[in-house]
Structure 1
Amino acid sequence: MNGFLQEKPIKNFLQSMDEFFSNPFPNSAFPLTVKETTTANLIIAELPGINREQIQINVYDHHLTISVNYQELITEENTQQNFFRSSQTYKRNSRTVALPYPIDEKKVKASYQNGLLTVTVPKQKGKKIMIEES
């Protein structure tokens, strides 16, 4: 039985099935983790192989969006056969985190090292409302 499973067509089929189940959605959004401390929320995005210039962070009221732009340009030229081929691929993935308080974009800090983007969003202090006696 082992010999049958190691033959070319079956072996290639089984390898492709293993690859599919190890990463079933290769074009899906990147992994994102939100950790809460006493003073801030840490948003950590795993972006291996991404350059800092491809990352964009936007803040809208209670939401923080991390976007990653992929752009690939492939050019092929053959002067002997007189042909030129060019193709361009553009993809964009983004993730949005909603927080329970407005975000002050001036206080948000971001760092990117070894494929990990860490965004620190300081917590905002709420206003305490006194209840009057009637």
Structure 2
Amino acid sequence: MNSLVTRGGLFDEFFKDIAPGFYVRPLHGDGVPAPSQIKVDVKETDGGYTVQAEVPGVPKEDIHVSIEGNVVSLRAEVRQHDQKTEGEKVLRSERYFGSVARSFQLPVDVDAAQAKAKYDNGVLTLTLPKKLGGSAQRLNIE
């Protein structure tokens, strides 16, 4: 059975209490994802893995990928550029400043020397070939 997840939190309740007429909801009705989350899709083929990670608004120079055996680690520095205009009053800011990171373990070691990374339109795509020689080999019985 799935439990229902409530959207919103203490910060949202604070705004409802302080200025109920000026409460600003997120555009799509969802809460802001936790800044520590990098959402990933991992797909496996016979030769390796393809990882797609969402890191929108981050320059590729601020994204760091490391591979150690079968552990892949992603880290990104998120920078918020606020522009203040005279006479403007910020009611709510949901943008995040800081670093986000994510590590995960794959079933087989990755050949780090052959791995490739591409960043396009907020999506980091990693092509991670499996390390050869790590698979089981059948022995002939004499």
* TM-score > 0.5 by shorter chain: yes
Contact 2:77 2:99 in 1 (8 A): yes
Q: Distance in 2 between matches of 1:132 and 1:21?
A: 64
The answer for unaligned runs of 5 or more in structure 2 is 1-18, 83-95
Once the two structures are superposed, what CA deviation does each residue of 1:44-90 show, in whole Å capped at 9, x if it has no partner? 0111111010000101111011110135688xxxxxxxxxxxxxx96
Q: TM-score, normalised by structure 2?
A: 0.63
Task: From the CA coordinates, give the structure whose radius of gyration is larger.
Answer: 1
The two structures, once aligned, show a CA RMSD in angstroms of 3.0
Q: Distance in 2 between matches of 1:39 and 1:104?
A: 11
- What is the CA distance between 1:124 and its match in structure 2? 3.3
Identity of matched residues, % = 24
Runs of 4+ in 1 over 4 A off after TM superposition: 18-21, 71-74
- What is the CA distance between 1:38 and its match in structure 2? 3.0
Correspondence 1:36 to 2:41:
no
Q: TM-score, normalised by structure 1?
A: 0.66
Select the structure that is richer in strand. Answer: 1
Pairs aligned (count): 110
